[in-house]
């Protein structure tokens, strides 16, 4: 199978302006990239000195000014949002993009900054429960039918949403998680894709880790549809990134490779230059 190539772009710093994001996404589309994904930091630094934009606002702007490239969140910090609001926003973006949205979600990495500073729950187990309930609610509301829900954290009485997303049976949902924590990957088995990371390593996930992840997810997966695996290309040198990309692809371990464009390492000019270089040559796995 062919690997798809995307860009992994910060929603803060130099790339926090939606107009800049639109320009980068248009160049990505013209240069042959398959996807354009935004992070979802509420505040990148604890002191909040870096500017940031709302991820869904950025995606909506991109959706309105592009026509082919897939767009998505990688990942949206779902438990700090109201699930019915996300259902509405994601459906609108999928409509605006004519079915190009991928909804990547997770509990986030900076829990104290993302939740604690705003008086929200910071217990990972509770955040995981809210994430699971939120996904049930979002997909229920996307059905277009009258939907009720009575969970531990959220309740809904007979709500019907229209319009629904363009994509059927739903907008693809990817789960972000840090390996070897098992809960995110058991969760991912229910949905359409995963974005694994390892916080403690310069290169996010080793090929052996991916083999373990795929085997673990397969034990719990009941969905017979395809499962996307997206890796963010992050390393201390371009040579390391390229070497690891080729290794992933040759072993058939991933479906998406996301080129990391950190705003704190690159000027806007440098980001434009990297986007215009286009994706690597596609390797076909037989």
Residue ranges per domain, the chain?
4-276
Give pLDDT, residue 283: 41
Please give the chain's pLDDT, 286 residues, in tens: 689 999 999 999 889 999 999 999 999 999 999 999 999 988 876 666 789 999 999 999 999 999 999 999 999 999 999 999 999 999 999 999 999 999 999 999 889 888 999 999 999 999 999 999 999 999 999 999 999 999 999 999 999 999 999 999 999 999 999 999 999 999 999 999 999 998 655 557 889 999 999 999 999 999 888 999 999 987 666 777 788 888 888 899 999 999 998 876 668 899 999 999 999 864 434 3
Assign domain 4-276 to its CATH architecture: Alpha-Beta Barrel (3.20)
Question: CA 197, CA 185: separation in Å to the nearest integer?
Answer: 11
E strands present in the chain: 4-9, 35-38, 70-77, 101-106, 147-150, 155-159, 173-178, 193-197, 228-233, 256-261
Give pLDDT, residue 284: 39
Give pLDDT, residue 235: 64
Contact predicate 29/68, CB 8 Å: yes
Give pLDDT, residue 60: 99
Q: What is the pTM of this model?
A: 0.94
Question: CA 222, CA 190: separation in Å to the nearest integer?
Answer: 7
Give how far Cα 257 sits from Cα of 20, 28, 36, 196, 229, Å. Answer: 22, 14, 11, 12, 9
Query: Residue 55's closest CA among 33, 72, 67?
Result: 72
Give pLDDT, residue 203: 55
């Amino acid at each position: 199978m062919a690997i798809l190539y995307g860009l992994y772009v910060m929603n803060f710093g130099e790339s926090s302006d939606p107009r800049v994001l639109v320009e980068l996404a248009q160049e990505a589309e013209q240069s042959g990239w398959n996807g354009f994904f935004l992070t979802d930091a509420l505040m990148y630094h604890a002191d909040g000195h870096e500017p940031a934009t709302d991820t869904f606002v950025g995606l909506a702007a991109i959706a309105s000014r592009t026509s082919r490239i897939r767009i998505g969140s990688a990942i949206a910090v779902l438990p700090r949002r109201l699930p019915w609001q996300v259902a509405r926003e994601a459906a609108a973006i999928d409509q605006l993009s004519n079915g190009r949205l991928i909804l990547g979600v997770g509990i986030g990495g900076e829990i104290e900054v993302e939740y604690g500073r705003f008086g929200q729950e910071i217990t990972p187990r509770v955040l995981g429960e809210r994430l699971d309930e939120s996904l049930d609610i979002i997909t229920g509301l996307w059905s277009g039918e009258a939907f009720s829900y009575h969970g531990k954290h959220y309740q809904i009485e007979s709500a019907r949403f229209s319009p629904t997303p363009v994509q059927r049976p739903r907008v693809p949902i990817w789960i972000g998680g840090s390996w070897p924590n098992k809960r995110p990957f058991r969760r991912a088995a229910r949905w359409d894709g995963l974005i694994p990371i390892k916080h403690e390593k310069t290169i996010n996930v080793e090929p052996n880790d991916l083999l373990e992840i795929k085997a673990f997810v397969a034990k719990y997966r009941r969905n017979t549809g395809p499962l996307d695996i997206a890796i963010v290309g992050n390393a201390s040198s371009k040579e390391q990134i390229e070497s690891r990309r080729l290794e992933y692809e040759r072993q058939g371990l991933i479906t998406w490779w996301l080129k990391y464009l950190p705003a704190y390492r690159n000027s806007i000019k440098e980001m434009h230059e990297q986007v215009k270089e286009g994706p690597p040559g596609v390797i076909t796995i037989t």
